[in-house]
Amino acid sequence: MDTNFIINKLKARHPSNQWIFAAEVPTSTGHNAPHNDGPGGIRRIDAFALNLWPSKGFQRVAYEIKVSRGDWLAEIRNPIKRSQAWHLSNEFWFAVPAGIIERGDWRRDMAGCGVLTVYSNGIIEVTRKAHNRKYCHPMPIGFVASLTRCVRGLTAAHGITY
pLDDT in tens, 4-43: 999 999 999 999 999 999 999 988 886 555 555 555 678 8
User: What pLDDT does 160 receive?
Assistant: 47
In one-letter notation, the amino acid at residue 32 is: N
Contacts (Cβ under 8 Å, ≥6 apart) of 92: 61, 62, 63, 64, 82, 85, 86, 112, 113, 114, 130
Residue spans of the domains in the chain: they are 3-158
Mean pLDDT along residues 98-125: 92
pLDDT in tens, 122-147: 999 999 999 999 988 999 998 998 99
Mean pLDDT along residues 99-110: 88
State pTM to two decimals: 0.88
- With 60 as the cut, is the pLDDT of residue 106 above it? yes
User: What pLDDT does 33 receive?
Assistant: 53
CATH of 3-158, one of 1.10.530, 1.25.40, 3.40.1350, 3.30.420: 3.40.1350
pLDDT range class, residue 52, cuts 50, 70, 90: very high
- With 70 as the cut, is the pLDDT of residue 78 above it? yes
Strands 60-65 and 91-97, by their bridges, are parallel
Do 39 and 30 contact (CB within 8 A), yes or no? no
